[in-house]
Amino acid sequence: ETGVTQSPTHLIKTRGQQVTLRCSSQSGHNTVSWYQQALGQGPQFIFQYYREEENGRGNFPPRFSGLQFPNYSSELNVNALELDDSALYLCASSLVRHGGGTDTQYFGPGTRLTVL
C-alpha cells in the first residue's frame, strides 16, 4: 500500500511569485485535505477536496486555490506569494465511504516553502 507522497520536498520562491504543490493520495483514498504549518505552530486547515470539488475551506484568502484530479491526486496553488506564506504545507488523504462518515486522515511528509 502506497502512502501519501508530496512534491517537491523543498521550494524557495520570491515575494509575488506563484507556486504549485502536488500531492498523491494513499491508495484507496478519495479525499484530500491541505494544511499549512507555520514554524512552531500546529497545522491550520486550508481546504479539502472530495470528488474533485472543494468541500470546506479554512480562513485562507482566495489566492490559495486547489484542484483534485480523477485519480484523487491534488494540487495546491498559491498566487502572489507573501513572506508569511513561508511554512510547511501538509497534504492528508482519507477515505469517505458512500453514505458519509469521517475517517482518519493520513499525512504526507510535507513541502517546505520559503518565500524571500
Residues of this chain that interact with other proteins (CB under 8 A) are 4, 6, 31, 33, 35, 40-45, 48, 50, 55-56, 58, 90, 92, 94, 96, 98-100, 102-110, 112
Q: Cβ closer to other proteins: 15 or 47?
A: 47
Closest separation between CB of residue 42 and other proteins, Å? 3
SS3 assignment, position 63: coil
Closest separation between CB of residue 49 and other proteins, Å? 10
Report the relative pairing of strands 10-13 and 111-115 from DSSP bridges. Answer: parallel
Residue found by looking up cell 472543494 in the block: 54
Closest separation between CB of residue 93 and other proteins, Å? 10
Task: Evaluate the CA torsion angle 25, 26, 32, 35 in order and state its sign.
Answer: negative
DSSP state of 97: P
Task: Evaluate the CA torsion angle 26, 7, 77, 71 in order and state its sign.
Answer: negative
Closest separation between CB of residue 16 and other proteins, Å? 27
Q: Cβ closer to other proteins: 17 or 54?
A: 54
